[in-house]
Structure 1
Amino acid sequence: MITTYAEALRFIHGRDQFKKAPTLRRMRHFMELLGNPQEHLKMIHVAGTNGKGSTVAFLRDLLMAAGNTVGTFTSPFITRFNERISCDGQPISDAELIDLVNRVQPIVQQLDAELAEKGPTEFEIDTALMFCYFATHPVDVVVVEVGLGGLYDSTNIITPMVSVITTIGMDHMKILGDTIPKIAAQKAGIIKPNVPVVCGRLSPDALAVMDRTAAEKHTQVVALARDFQVTNQPEAQWGERFTYQYGTLKLTHLQIDLLGAYQIDNAATALSAFVTYQRLQGLSTTTATLRRGLAHTAWPGRFERLNNQPLIAIDGAHNEPAMVELAQLLRQHFATNDVYIVLAVLADKQYGQMVQTLLTVPNVHLIVTQFSGPGKRSAATPTELEAAAAQSERMTMAPNWPAALKQALGTMSAEDLLLLTGSLYFISEVRHYFKDAPAEN
């Protein structure tokens, strides 16, 4: 019997993170033993290389603006584990998490005994906790974010109302494949028979995989830049402004508080998924509701301001496609500022390319450092990161990120930008420091 929050976290985080067997048999058996709680939920499923979390946030706020109660399942967390399972943006309580773990733990022990070394992984347990929670705490709809890939992700035992695929890029290549079509095929694994699919901005070869898979499943893909369109309307203030058109629905001067052209794509993808969901329900929504939902959206760790003077921000860009987008954001919004970037990256990422991409922005000064890394995954060392840049004069090293932060603040002026980025796990550490959040045991 687990009685404390710390014990509940130790049980969850003590599990293996990955099992090599590409199958959902274990997850389906796990859910059968729990009574298949997922079968009683109305869901929207969100996969993609980048943009999943922001798209979930936009979808949540659009659905809430239309009067729904909305559950969300996201990963990783930024401040506390409880964020991963939320209702209307509010994380579940510590007591609720303890109750859930006590419900699931005996089944996990049973499977450990049955399956020897092949019992449920940490993420499978996270997913099971979420399904059990929303089965006993009903909401109108649950927006479920895929953990990794799609085809064999533990969330992929569901039949959602709408499937969403945000972006396809080179990440987790050892697991998902080393080409865009191979990775796209893994993401397309969430496409279900007769379930409509909404895609973000995909390359032609990735979109071709989606169209082909959808045709096999007797459904259709609605894709950004083909079936719905956005036009950036540059905004002088913080945030982005854009027009949106999907069929006869046209909206101008839509405003979001998240920064970056890719956030326009995420908002538009969420908006198209929301419109699709509403049509399936036989419901319509006022344009005022759509505007309010998008304008309200905030998502911690996505170019989030932590301080105004000097301007300090964190961003969870954690792979090469995200760094390309981040570099473009810096060129668009901060071309007249010096930009000091504190970078810490996990060792299993393409950190060499990430460093080189950031250094293509001429006003960037890079301080490479490291952080502790989650679980068994280690961070790239500052020496490894520096070697990737071929000794750029705009790059220095620091032994740890507090030292890098001190170095940047001692060099920059009040008009400059300080950005800490490279990993969602890294910025979680940073956000704790700035927000003075209660530490988890």
Structure 2
Amino acid sequence: MGNDNVAEVPAPFTTYHEAVNWINGLLPFGIRPGLSRMEMMMEQLGQPQKRLKFIHVAGTNGKGSTCAFLTKVLLQAGYSVGTFTSPYITKFTNRFQYNGEDIPEETLLNLTNTLRPVVEKIAQTDQGSPTMFEVSTAIAILYYAKVCVPDIVVWETGLGGRLDVTNIVTPVVSVITNVGLDHTDILGDTLSLIAAEKVGIIKRGVPVVSCADQPEVVEILKATADRNNSTLYLAGEKFTYERVKFEESVQTFHFMGPFRSMDIEVELKGEHQIANAAGAMMVLEVLRQYMAYVIDDEDLLKGFRDTVWAGRLEEVVNHPRIIVDGAHNPEGAESLAKSIPQYYKYRSLNLMMGMLANKHHESYLKHILPLVDTLILTEPDFRKKMDANGLLEVVERLQPNYAKPTLQIIVEPDWRIALENLKLRTEEEDLGVVSGTLYLIADVRGSLLNQSDSEKGW
């Protein structure tokens, strides 16, 4: 008897690299908004996400830092914590952390082999193949639900909120850090449209924390929270924060919430980190007050103080002094432009930047150009990169009104050569800054720190 019509079962992957290559090979399927493929995967796996507690974090900027604060404080308080973030800075396994450690390569390989037949079965349906981001999210859920089972998972959205694949979970608290113009090609090009996507993570009866402050965004937040019967903890209303001291590399801010007030210190640089820390603090207060989480003041303060986050105003080397910062949208550029003179003394500022093709580069450059003495335009090593000469055209258009008359511009598409240029030009009293897309930041950081196994991406 022949078995011609039995589908071939693919041989399991035998190495971590095979597994990661297969996941990354799903990239051409793009980011296809919608949860239907995710729902099919979870159904076939027995709904593992329902066994876990999540803090779901969305927002335009500050998601990563907010996740870092929450993870550090909860770990310090003795809880086991899963942290799912994107894009990663050095290695694919960075996205799936348990108690601050990456998923072991062997575990990732095993979970990929578990998931692959499910993915290939869905690919045969009219839904088409699950995307790279959907498969990564499913791996995270399997890892946390079946392998390490943390007390809580800090769960960062990939894009938007409403249709983002991470929205397959029902969290214990939702966070919307802020709303600005980013991914406008997918999410819409006004604050109201983007806010409408972000508030999609608000679930019925689940409290939500936000530091958003634009009137049109606040209006959408309030209406959505009301409709879902969710308590909204909004900065400026239910809680407030202000920086009271800044010395050496420590910022102190005063947090006033519905339950208590206290002074908190953070070492992450930049005023915007105070908003991120205050939002994280409000989340922790909700956990403490309503969900019986035990977090001693001593652990809380130590957790905030000890939080570090790669690629955000991070001084990677000091001879020459080079900082890297993943500011890639107007709000990020505004924070960076404010923070540099506050934190650094320098004679000349040399800035190297590379961008993706889908961003608002004009408003980014308006914030940053006035500070710059030498501008090195390069390209990230990524398929959606912005051509360096295209970036030059934008700079030349803005130059008369925004740049110093003495601004020097270098166009060098190869980021490795551009980085050598930056090092050579940055003398003892100068400051070198590498900014732009995290795809560039990941490569530059890996190169400066001599990390040979640096991978990068979504």
Distance 1:422 1:436 in 2: 20
Cross-structure match for 2:333: 323
**SS in structure 2 opposite 1:302?**
coil
Alpha-carbon displacement from aligned partner over 1:58-111 (angstroms, at most 9, x marks no partner): 000111121100001000110000010001110001101100100100100101
Cross-structure match for 2:428: 414
Gaps of 5+ in 1: none
Gaps of 5+ in 2: 1-11
Aligned AA (1:76) = P
Cross-structure match for 1:404: 418
Distance 1:115 1:276 in 2: 42
Cross-structure match for 1:148: 159
Cα contact 1:163–1:191 (8 A) shared by 2: yes
Does the C-alpha gap of structure 1 residues 304 and 440 become closer, same or farther in structure 2, counting only changes over 3 Å?
A: closer
Distance 2:321 2:212 in 1: 30
Cross-structure match for 1:435: 449
The residue correspondences of 1:168-179 to structure 2 (distance < 5 A) are 168-179=179-190
Query: Given the alignment of the two structures, is residue 389 of structure 1 paired with residue 395 of structure 2, yes or no?
Result: yes
Distance 1:16 1:202 in 2: 35
Cross-structure match for 2:350: 340
Does the C-alpha gap of structure 1 residues 168 and 121 become closer, same or farther in structure 2, counting only changes over 3 Å?
A: same
Deviation at 1:19, TM superposition (A): 5.4
Deviation at 1:263, TM superposition (A): 0.7
Query: Given the alignment of the two structures, is residue 133 of structure 1 paired with residue 143 of structure 2, yes or no?
Result: yes
Deviation at 1:244, TM superposition (A): 1.3
Equivalent in 59, 80, 83 of residue 69 of structure 1 = 80
The residue correspondences of 1:26-425 to structure 2 (distance < 5 A) are 26-115=37-126, 118-136=128-146, 137-252=148-263, 254-334=264-344, 337-361=347-371, 364-373=373-382, 376-377=383-384, 379-390=385-396, 391=399, 392=403, 393-399=406-412, 400-425=414-439
**SS in structure 1 opposite 2:335?**
helix
Distance 1:248 1:19 in 2: 44
Alpha-carbon displacement from aligned partner over 1:129-159 (angstroms, at most 9, x marks no partner): 0000011121100010000000000010111
Cross-structure match for 2:6: none
**SS in structure 2 opposite 1:227?**
coil
Alpha-carbon displacement from aligned partner over 1:242-294 (angstroms, at most 9, x marks no partner): 22111242212x22121100111111111111111222222453322211110
Aligned AA (1:16) = L
Cross-structure match for 2:3: none
Is the radius of gyration larger for structure 1 or structure 2? 2
Distance 1:440 1:244 in 2: 38
Deviation at 1:51, TM superposition (A): 0.6
Cross-structure match for 2:5: none
**SS in structure 1 opposite 2:159?**
coil
Alpha-carbon displacement from aligned partner over 1:214-249 (angstroms, at most 9, x marks no partner): 000001211122221111134231242222111242
Distance 2:170 2:259 in 1: 29
Q: How many residues align?
A: 435
Distance 1:335 1:384 in 2: 32
Distance 1:12 1:327 in 2: 37
Cα contact 2:89–2:442 (8 A) shared by 1: yes
Does the C-alpha gap of structure 1 residues 155 and 435 become closer, same or farther in structure 2, counting only changes over 3 Å?
A: same
User: What percent identity do the matched residue pairs reach?
Assistant: 36
Q: TM-score, normalised by structure 2?
A: 0.91
